[in-house]
Amino acid sequence: MPRPKEYQQEHVLDRATECFWQHGYTATSMKHLEQATGLTPGSLYNSFGSKDGLFLACLDHYNDTVIGERVRHYLKPAIREYQEAPLQGIENFIATAFEPGPAELCLGCLMVNTSVELGPHEETVRQRTTEAMRKVLQGIQYSLNGAQAKGQLSSTVDYRQRAQSLSLMFNGMLVQWRGATDKRWLKNAMTSVRELLMSN
Amino acid sequence: MPRPKEYQQEHVLDRATECFWQHGYTATSMKHLEQATGLTPGSLYNSFGSKDGLFLACLDHYNDTVIGERVRHYLKPAIREYQEAPLQGIENFIATAFEPGPAELCLGCLMVNTSVELGPHEETVRQRTTEAMRKVLQGIQYSLNGAQAKGQLSSTVDYRQRAQSLSLMFNGMLVQWRGATDKRWLKNAMTSVRELLMSN
DNA sequence: TTCATTCTAGAATGATCACTCTAAAATGTA
DNA sequence: TACATTTTAGAGTGATCATTCTAGAATGAA
């Protein structure tokens, strides 16, 4: 009976997420978001309640699409390729740090960026960034565990410890990737990852 | 002949740096800076020209005091303790990621935070963040090199490669430290660092 | 003292911030 | 058709943004 919405929630979230991803929470204004989504203030506030509400929806959206997608693809894979070579899955997952974001920009990871920008102060935000980090760490653990079961990784290594090392390095790479203009160190970084992945 | 300034530049920079360190560039307003420094807008603009100018001065100040100080102390040390045990110097340097900042807060590193918040777009800012990262990387290389010369690290390891791994892990720790509320993983992280430091 | 200069206090500026309000438009039901 | 309901368009809100302006206070030189 009511008038139907003229836009698609998913498309709006895509566009808004791009804004926050590129400029961060504080530097993204409602005007930016209106222009990027093509919606008017009324529609945005009607759908999301506030800038914070929209931001949280974007974090959830990013968590589902980008992070969840990558974890499922590379770390807890349904496809045989990575099931049989879990270490390769981890390596390729970590290499996604260098995948260009929207508009071919080097944006890093929205969760890492947000965690750095806002710190742990906003509980609603912290929950989501923490959840994302946990998901990644757990995915890496899962694959390392699989590698040990397949004899592709020495069973003497503490796979939890190793997963944390890799996760820390991954976050470091995301930071570097967003901030640096000179990207030549990239290859060396992946060599570091491979070394850490196989050692012992 | 002119009227002398009533404040000390260094004290002002300390206070302003704390603001930017805690809240980031965008979320720090001139009002915050006025209150933190005790200066009026006129004085701030007279001394630093603009918010950007003050921010750049703070980056330089941080680079000189915090980063430079730590690199000199732990990585290129004048004191015998770390000269004789360069690997311990690196470990202790990396552990400074967990040193509380002003007001006992977990703020991470101003350079890393800034690099993530603003990306590489502002050339003046990028220069400073890049310089800071380079200084750290080079310091770690220097100490690893020293460790090899002393026979405390296998000469088969590529010390540049190793330095980069450690630097990436260091940045990852800074990010995690700023964003997470649960700090229990800290000990494990340092174990990861020690493993990476000694392996091979 | 008088003057040139610089600094300080704080009101005032226009722009932009997140957000709200009003009125019109679009739908299904009756 | 007429009505109830929801969305849309976009002007309008007060607050806050970075910045500037004005007036006065503090100094050393003449």
Query: Does any domain span residue A42?
Result: no
Q: Is pLDDT larger for residue A139 or for residue A82?
A: A139
Strand D neighbours (CB under 7 Å) are A 1-7, 39-43, 46-47; B 1-4, 28-31, 41-42, 45, 50-52
**Residue A112 within any structural domain of the chain:** yes
Contact A22, A102 (CB under 8 A): yes
The SS3 assignment for B61 reads helix
Cross-chain Cβ contact A164/B26 below 8 Å: no
- Residues in B 134-173 with any Cβ partner in A closer than 8 A: 160-161, 164-165, 167-173
The residue whose two tokens read 């045989």 is A80
The residue type found at A57 is: A
> In Å, how far are A110, B58, B109, B193 from A24, measured between CA atoms?
8, 21, 18, 30
Please indicate, yes or no, if residue B51 is contained in any of the structural domains: no
Which residues span the domain enclosing A167? 56-198
Residue B140 within any structural domain of the chain: yes
Annotate B75-91 with DSSP letters as a single string: IS-SSHHHHH-HHHHHH
- Indicate if the pLDDT at residue A140 is higher than 80: yes
Q: Contact A94/A193 with Cβ under 8 angstroms?
A: yes
**Would residue B82 count as lying in a domain?**
yes
Give the CATH number of the domain where residue A174 resides: 1.10.357.10
Helix residue spans in chain A (DSSP H):
9-23, 30-37, 41-48, 51-62, 68-70, 80-84, 86-95, 110-118, 123-149, 159-179, 186-198
Residue B1 has pLDDT above 60, yes or no: no
Residue A157 included in any domain = yes
Question: Would you place residue A29 in the very low, low, confident or very high pLDDT band (cuts 50, 70, 90)?
Answer: very high
Over the stretch B128-185, which tens digit does the pLDDT of each residue have? 999 999 999 999 999 999 999 999 999 999 999 999 999 999 999 999 999 988 888 8
Per-residue pLDDT tens for A37-93?
999 999 999 999 999 999 999 999 999 999 999 999 999 988 888 999 999 999 999
**What's the mean pLDDT when you consider all of chain B?**
94
pTM summary value: 0.95
Residue A17 lies in a domain: no
Confidence at residue A186, expressed as pLDDT on a 0 to 100 scale: 82
Structural domain contains residue B2: no
Counting the structural domains of chain B, the total is 1
CA distance B62 to B21: 9
